[in-house]
Amino acid sequence: MLNLCNNIVMGKRITIYDLAKTLGVSAGTVSRSLNDHPSISPKTKERVITVANELGYKTNKFAVNLSKQKSNTIGVIVPKLNSIFMSTLLAGIEKIANEAGYNLIISQSLESMEKEKINAKTLYHSGVDALLVSLAYDTSNFDHFAHYIRNKIPLIFIDRVHNLPNCSTIIINNRLAGFEATEHLLAQGCKNLLYIGGNIKRNVYCDRLQGFKDALENRQLKFDKTNFLETDLAPNNVDTVIRYMGNSKNPIDGLFVASDNFAVHMIKALKKENYKIPQDIKIVGFNNDPISDLITPTLTTINYPGYEMGILAGQSIISHLNGGINLQPTNAITLRHKLIIRESTHK
């Protein structure tokens, strides 16, 4: 009892050797007991555990990691933390990882490939057991993931993905979603559409554009390059877009915006310019951000299951790490999306 107090108060770290000594057994036995190894008698286990608690033993993860060459840690790289979609995604991942006893090391690329590279390298050196990535806006080279693949560290892309050998992706069918969004605008009577999206190097924007084109073609309408505007979807670009629309030969009466956030800023600006929504112009967004149902008029959008994607990403990676299902053969997991019709396209 005195010993206990001394150890704790002195802050001296207690190791399995200390336990071994006080118990009169070997360190190996202590280690095995603590890890519930089958070859140890229940009685011994109990004794060990009791004393461990009494002495305030804390297992040293650093030593465990070194010994096992794994860290029980999953790395995550997202473009930015402060977006509702990304944080919802992370919430899903964290929930699963936490339940499975894994820690999450989270970093943001701030939409820059350079930072993404650095983060990938850092996480690699930190010894993460797996990596989850949603690509930056401008990532065009993928060498920074080569280490992972070469060393068979599982790598999953989420949402903003790229096809790399032996890497899974978790996505929705952006092309089909884009088609449905556009078809809805056409069905509502729009004649002259504009698609506003981000960098078409990114699958999400490229696929939605493709769906947009599909929908036009499906109605024998021709796609013209004036029907498409690429922007980085930063709110301060709204004015440029409004000006672009004002200069259009045929007035634009339907907008498909690849992000709810940008769409709501467009709505605000259009209202200021005295556009009537949906009478003069109809708008469809993307993501089903909470804001889409709060703005006036409420915004028709595509539901994007961020939380579920996170959950799924977490589950996939964990079960892989635990030696359950092997992800290798799995190429892509596609989640269900849904068009949500609201006031911005429907009086």
List interacting residues with DNA (CB under 7 A).
13, 15-17, 24-29, 31-32, 34-35, 38-41, 43-44, 57-60, 62-64, 66-69
DSSP-derived 3-state class of residue 76: strand
The entry of DNA, a second copy, none near residue 340 (CB within 5 to 8 angstroms by kind) is none
Provide, rounded to whole angstroms, the least separation between the CB of residue 88 and DNA. 35
Provide, rounded to whole angstroms, the least separation between the CB of residue 236 and a second copy. 13
262 neighbors 295 (Cβ within 8 angstroms): no
Provide, rounded to whole angstroms, the least separation between the CB of residue 171 and DNA. 36
The entry of a second copy, DNA, none near residue 226 (CB within 5 to 8 angstroms by kind) is none
Q: Retrieve residue 162's tokens.
A: 């790229």
The entry of a second copy, DNA, none near residue 167 (CB within 5 to 8 angstroms by kind) is none
Provide, rounded to whole angstroms, the least separation between the CB of residue 106 and DNA. 25
Measured between alpha carbons, how far is 230 from 280 in angstroms, rounded to an integer? 23
Give buried/exposed letters for 242-267 (b at 16+ CB in 10 A, else e).
Answer: beebeeeeeebbbbbbbbbbbbbbbb
Measured between alpha carbons, how far is 183 from 303 in angstroms, rounded to an integer? 16
- Distinct helix (H) and strand (E) counts, the chain: 13, 12
Measured between alpha carbons, how far is 321 from 43 in angstroms, rounded to an integer? 32
Residue whose CB is less far from a second copy, 179 or 304 = 304
Residue whose CB is less far from DNA, 34 or 311 = 34
Measured between alpha carbons, how far is 87 from 83 in angstroms, rounded to an integer? 6
Provide, rounded to whole angstroms, the least separation between the CB of residue 215 and a second copy. 28
The entry of DNA, a second copy, none near residue 26 (CB within 5 to 8 angstroms by kind) is DNA
Q: Retrieve residue 16's tokens.
A: 């399995």
Residue whose CB is less far from a second copy, 91 or 187 = 91
198 neighbors 232 (Cβ within 8 angstroms): yes
Measured between alpha carbons, how far is 218 from 183 in angstroms, rounded to an integer? 9
Provide, rounded to whole angstroms, the least separation between the CB of residue 293 and a second copy. 8
Which positions lie near a second copy, rule CB under 8 A?
11, 58-63, 65-66, 69, 71, 73, 80-84, 86-88, 90-91, 94-95, 98, 101, 103-108, 110, 119, 122-127, 150-151, 261, 264-265, 268, 290-291, 294-296, 307
